[in-house]
Amino acid sequence: MGFGVVAFMTVLLSLSAPKVVHGIVATLVQVANTSANPVPTLEQEAQSAFVAQGTCQISPGGCTVDTLYTVPMGKTAVLESVGFVCATTPAGGMSSSSVQAASASMSFSPPGGGPIVYLPLAPGNPFFVPSGVLQSTGQNLKSYAAGGSSGSNIVFEAFITYAGPTSPTGSCVILLSGHLE
């Protein structure tokens, strides 16, 4: 009975003073964005994040991932971290210590045009395993790749050095992350 009376009074009050009731209801549902009670938001870079992975097989001299990531037309990729690992198996008669990744790089178009940027990536110390050598590295960075008027590719290359007449076999895996602006 009490609930019915409250409901009836609310309807009666809203008919007689709709602006007052609307103001009271609006006050009850307003979200206040204060430093003590902030409204959660998501940064723009978190909304446009990307992770790209590529793999290549080692041939004489190294391996290449021609399209690690394609920067979309009109966008700029902010490259934030990169890591790679190369696993090599020496050719017959070679010791594991005679094979290592000498260097690696990523290449991409810079914002505003200009010559291609070559970002060097230094491999870590070799880790010798029974079947060959593992080398890896990871680094945080801040670099920019432009998509230009038709999109552009980010390319990864690893250069393998070895002692002996026959190239080692194996593969490299690279992981790149960042966001688009």
What's the pTM value of the predicted model, to 2 decimals? 0.69
Q: What is the pLDDT of residues 141-169, one digit of tens each?
A: 999 999 988 889 999 998 887 777 777 88
| Phi and psi at residue 155, to the nearest 5° | -115, 140
**Cα separations in angstroms, 144 against 30, 78, 122, 167:** 41, 5, 19, 34
CA distance 18 to 16: 6
Amino acid present at 102: A
Please state, for a pLDDT cut of 70, what percent of the chain lies above it.
Answer: 70
Instruction: Tell me the average pLDDT of the chain.
Output: 79
Instruction: Specify which of 68-77, 110-119, 133-142 reaches the highest per-range mean pLDDT.
Output: 68-77
Q: What per-residue confidence (pLDDT) applies to 50?
A: 95
| Phi and psi at residue 11, to the nearest 5° | -65, -45
The more confident residue out of 29 and 136 is 136
**Cα separations in angstroms, 14 against 8, 10, 17, 29, 56:** 10, 6, 5, 17, 71
The more confident residue out of 163 and 133 is 133
- Domains (range + CATH), the chain: 1-41 (no CATH), 44-180 (2.60.120)
- What residues form DSSP beta bridges with 61? none
Whether pLDDT at 80 is above 90: yes
Q: What per-residue confidence (pLDDT) applies to 55?
A: 96
The more confident residue out of 95 and 122 is 122
